[in-house]
Amino acid sequence: MRVDPDGGLTVVPHPSDPAPSPLLGNVVEGLRHRTRVARPAVRRGWLDHGPGPTDRRGRDGFVEVGWDEVLDLLAAELNRVRTEHGNEAIFGGSYGWASAGRFHHAQSQLHRFLNQFGGFTGSRNSYSNGTSVVLLPHVVGDAETVLRGASSWPTIAANTELIVAFGGIPAKNVHVVPGGVTRHGTPGHLTALAERNVEVALVSPLRTDLPATVPATWYPVEPGTDVALMLGLAHTLLVGGLHDRAFLDRYCVGFDTVARYLVDGRYDADWAARVCGIPADDIRALARRMAARRTLVTVTWSLQRIRHGEQPVWAGLLLAAMLGQIGLPGGGFGHGYGSMGDVGDNGPTVRLPYLPQGTNPVRTFIPVARIADLLLHPGATYDYNGRSLTYPDIRLVYWAGGNPFHHHQDLARLRTAFGRPDTVVVHEPHWTATARHADIVLPTTLPLEREDVGGGRRDTHLIAMHRAVEPYGEARDDHHILAGLADRLGFADRFTEGRTARQWLEHLYDRWRADDAPTFADFWAAGGHELPTGPSDFTLFDRFRADPDRSPLKTPSGRIELASETVAGFGYDDCPGHPAWLEPEPADRRYPMHLIANQPSTRLHSQLDVGPVSRASKVDGREPLSLHPDDAAARGIAAGDVVRVFNDRGACLAGAVLTDGIRPGVVQLATGAWFDPVDTPDGVLCVHGNPNVLTADIPTSRLSQGCAGQHARVQVERYTATPPPVTVFDPPAGLAR
Ligand SMILES: Nc1nc2c(c(=O)[nH]1)N[C@H]1C(S)=C(S)[C@@H](COP(=O)(O)OP(=O)(O)OC[C@H]3O[C@@H](n4cnc5c(=O)[nH]c(N)nc54)[C@H](O)[C@@H]3O)O[C@H]1N2
Ligand SMILES: Nc1nc2c(c(=O)[nH]1)N[C@H]1C(S)=C(S)[C@@H](COP(=O)(O)OP(=O)(O)OC[C@H]3O[C@@H](n4cnc5c(=O)[nH]c(N)nc54)[C@H](O)[C@@H]3O)O[C@H]1N2
Ligand SMILES: [Mo]
């Protein structure tokens, strides 16, 4: 970031970054946009009537109040809830991506605060890969083996002959890593694939899920049917004797169970073709190519973010095991190439400084995507990974650094759920939909308004994040806000340990610093520190391959479990004991189109949707919906038209973009347009284009209870009435002082 002579700001990429992220273009305008929260604000109904369930959240006006007053009110309310209902009644999971920076990480700050306050009901896993991290321990012992144990991009470029990429390798996603990326390496690695003529089988309804420069065959699969394709490939390998029996015997258990399933169920290429829409001859030919080459089977995280999302991951591992190349350079199985910038990256692996959070005295948690069920069904029991859990009775919801009205499914249902607690508290820099559904909104700074130490997973540098501008309005750092509350609640000394924010940075840095790293003062003055390089490839599967008896996996058998007695023992019909074809959401004649709600290419989730890069992608101010020209013609839709996308759960408006790079019958609407709801007789209408009004709030399965938000069944029509204006890029109406 550079401050220009006229006081303007310019984003200057790191000098060593070969491919700066286009998302940086949203930062400067987002910083001073009129949707910034300037002062603490309290919902009028909460001020007038006090805490309690209400359907007014998201509909009432707000009253601005001073910091002292709002912190007094909030401290008293925290005390009331703790005294009357216990700490378990506070939900502080607070899932979300907040912003870069190791100290001012909002969720870490909130968890430290709530732990010291006596604890809170938390959440586990992520929306990103919350299904895989529950499944994979049963199959390969731990999730890290797969998520961080695969070949690096240079190893792939040097060894791999064929990548079978389920979900593709979408270049739009690789600029992003939690905590940040100094050097964006993956775009260059993708170019290297093209130069080395690595062949890619792109399995996706969208042609854009692989850069056009990489040589590819496109298999435009029907959404949600990858498992059928995988089983058809596996069946072809099996009956053709193309599978590696020696590998399966030595390194896996359960193959016979799966083989019987494939044969008895006649899951052959002809069956697969009927389900997934790829011709049977193409499936058989692809299976033969896979067996003849050094082949990497990859599955993006999106494929586990659907109903029965465990299955594509398990079936992908099955395919790779049958090829016998797991643990060979550039072969085997990968998960998340193209989902996140650090997957396949070969940067350092050093630990980064972090804020100690202490421990949570409350053991109660939810799998993260069960937030609406938690609020709606206190006392209800449900299954999770072999356990039976009970939802506690939540009275206070505290969110800092996330946007559930971005990330959760079925937003009309979430609205109802947010009506249930007594009090909802949100720390936010912007008037997001979540802030608008809160009782108490506390304005927080953005990273450019404070000092921090930055670094992401496998990052090459630790960055001294200097302050570039003064905080907006009366915004305060999350840490400062929580310190003020801790002071009122009597534990400020424990929370701050007597340090200023700057002293915390120095303290965390010194605790982290190895002997050869510069002193904090030198690090701060230099603006950063290049981290020592780590191993370029992980060796978890290599070691297992070298000697499975001496380096067994952490599964019950020590082997790859292609069938798991543990999972079978849970008795879940929606996640049996081996990879299986389970019907997706049943087709509904009223909603014939498949919606793909994937990550946006022009922003990070909902963040900085007000910025120019994000806005430039909109069609007349509404989120673009991609559809095939044939589907458009059948509906009288022309490019640029406002369309209504709807199902039984709700509706949204979007702007039509026509492309033949999408499978007919499929439409694509990225996540992240700020939710802009209008109440209509038919239910909620988001006039801006947020797909989560359409997605179902269902778990992937009883095993992992993961997020299944990637898909929905919808209908699309031309919107002929005068479309209501998008108002969410203005501060909320009825904001009074
Ligand atoms: N339909 C559908 N839904 C999905 C997905 C999908 O594929 N389809 N994907 C899911 C996935 S993988 C994810 S990870 C989630 C992402 O969901 P989130 O992580 O909740 O989304 P963000 O928009 O990144 O929300 C971060 C919020 O933190 C705020 N913020 C930024 N900096 C600070 C700070 O310093 N302090 C505080 N207090 N706040 C700050 C931002 O303004 C923003 O509102 O979405 C999920 N939702
Ligand atoms: N620019 C940008 N990059 C991001 C993010 C962002 O918000 N913006 N978010 C980051 C985060 S938190 C995460 S978790 C990752 C998520 O990484 P992913 O979950 O992998 O990303 P998505 O873009 O949701 O999905 C990838 C592709 O899967 C394809 N797909 C969807 N359904 C199917 C299907 O049934 N079959 C097949 N074969 N393909 C399908 C879609 O066409 C989609 O483009 O992205 C990260 N990167
Ligand atoms: Mo994510």
CA-based Rg of the chain, rounded to a whole angstrom? 25
* Cα 598 to ligand 2 centroid, rounded to whole Å: 5
Nearest alpha-carbon partner for 651 in 705, 708, 717: 717
What pLDDT is recorded for position 201?
A: 98
Q: How far is residue 620's CA from residue 602's CA, in Å, rounded to a whole number?
A: 16
What the block records as the tokens of 142 is 């731990």
User: Which among 208, 196, 286 is positioned nearest to 240, based on CA atoms?
Assistant: 286
C-alpha of residue 206 to centroid of ligand 2, in Å: 11
> How would you label 121-152 residue by residue, b for 16+ Cβ within 10 Å and e otherwise?
bbbbbbbbbbbbbbbbbbbbbbbebbbbbbbb
303 lines ligand 2 (CB under 6 A): yes
Whether the CB of 166 sits within 6 Å of ligand 2:
yes
Residue in 95, 127, 219, 398 annotated catalytic: 95
Residue 132 Cβ contacting ligand 2 at under 6 Å: no
**Which residue spans of the chain are classified as CATH 3.40.50.740?**
37-120+357-450+467-508
With a 6 Å cutoff on the Cβ, whether 277 touches ligand 2 is: no
Give 488's contacts (C-beta < 8 A, 6+ positions apart). 71, 72, 75
What's the confidence (pLDDT) of residue 104?
Answer: 97
Q: Is 207 exposed, middle or buried (0-12, 13-18, 19+ CB in 10 A)?
A: middle
HSE-up of residue 633 (Cα within 13 Å, Cβ side): 6
Pinpoint the residues of the chain covered by CATH 3.40.228.10.
Answer: 141-342+547-570
Q: Is 172 in the pocket of ligand 2 (CB under 6 A)?
A: yes
Any ligand 1 atom below 6 A from CB of 236: no
Closest to 693 measured CA to CA, from 644, 627, 626: 644
Rounded Cα gap, residues 462 and 531, in angstroms: 7
Tell me the fold of 141-342+547-570: Dimethylsulfoxide Reductase; domain 2 (3.40.228)
- Tell me the CA distances in angstroms from 201 to 62, 165, 168, 638, 704, one per residue in order: 53, 6, 8, 32, 29
Ligand of minimum distance to the alpha carbon of 597: 1
Query: Which residue in 509, 531, 518 sits closest to 353, CA to CA?
Result: 509
Q: How far is the CA of 95 from the centre of ligand 1 (A)?
A: 8
Q: Is 657 in contact with 699 (CB distance < 8 Å)?
A: no
- Residue among 598, 604, 669 whose CB has most ligand 2 atoms within 8 A, to mutate: 598
Any ligand 2 atom below 6 A from CB of 170: yes
pLDDT of residue 7: 79
DSSP string, 253-285: E-HHHHHHHHHHTT--HHHHHHHH-S-HHHHHH
Axis-axis angle for helices 478-489, 106-116 (nearest 10) = 10
Which ligand 1 atom sits nearest the alpha carbon of residue 695?
Answer: 1
Which atom of ligand 2 is closest in space to residue 129's alpha carbon? Answer: 14
**Whether the CB of 35 sits within 6 Å of ligand 1:** no
Any idea what DSSP says for residue 590?
T
Over the chain (737 residues), the average pLDDT of each successive run of 10 is 82 89 92 97 97 96 97 98 98 92 96 98 98 98 85 92 97 88 87 90 98 94 98 98 98 98 98 98 98 98 98 98 96 94 80 94 98 98 98 98 98 98 98 98 97 90 94 98 98 98 97 90 95 71 93 97 98 98 88 98 97 97 98 98 98 98 98 96 96 98 98 98 96 84
Distance CA 239, CA 557 (A): 27
Mutate to test the pocket of ligand 1, among 103, 449, 607 (most ligand atoms within 8 A of CB): 607
Examine the residue annotation and report whether 512 is marked as an active-site residue of this protein. Answer: no
Q: Nearest to residue 669, comparing CAs of 684, 700, 647? A: 647
DSSP per-residue string spanning 26-87: GHHHHHT-TTB--S-EEEHHHHHH-SS--S-TTTS-EEE--HHHHHHHHHHHHHHHHHHH-G
Query: Which residue, chain included where needed, has tokens 């700050």?
Result: 109
Catalytic (active site) residue 97: yes
CATH class of the structural domain 593-724? mainly beta
C-alpha to C-alpha distance for 393 and 28, rounded to whole angstroms: 41
Query: Could you tell me whether strands 396-400 and 90-91 are parallel, antiparallel, or unpaired per DSSP bridges?
Result: parallel
> For ligand 2, what atom is nearest to the CA of residue 224?
35
Indicate the fold that domain 37-120+357-450+467-508 takes in CATH.
Rossmann fold (3.40.50)
275: its two tokens:
């389900």
Residue-level pLDDT at 96:
97
Strands 62-64 and 216-219: unpaired
CB of 95 closer than 6 angstroms to any ligand 2 atom: no
The answer, yes or no, to whether any atom of ligand 1 lies below 6 A from the CB of 460, is no
Ligand in nearest proximity to the CA of 712: 1
Quote the pLDDT of residue 1: 74
pLDDT, position 95: 98
Helix (H) or strand (E) run with residue 505 in it: helix 501-512
Closest ligand 2 atom to 302 CA: 19
Candidate list 46, 67, 97, 674, residue with the active-site label: 97
Ligand nearest to the CA of 336: 2
The pLDDT of residue 348: 74
Query: In sequence order, what are the beta bridge partners of 657?
Result: 626
Name the segment(s) of the chain with CATH classification 2.40.40.20.
Answer: 593-724
Ligand that comes closest to the CA of residue 434: 1
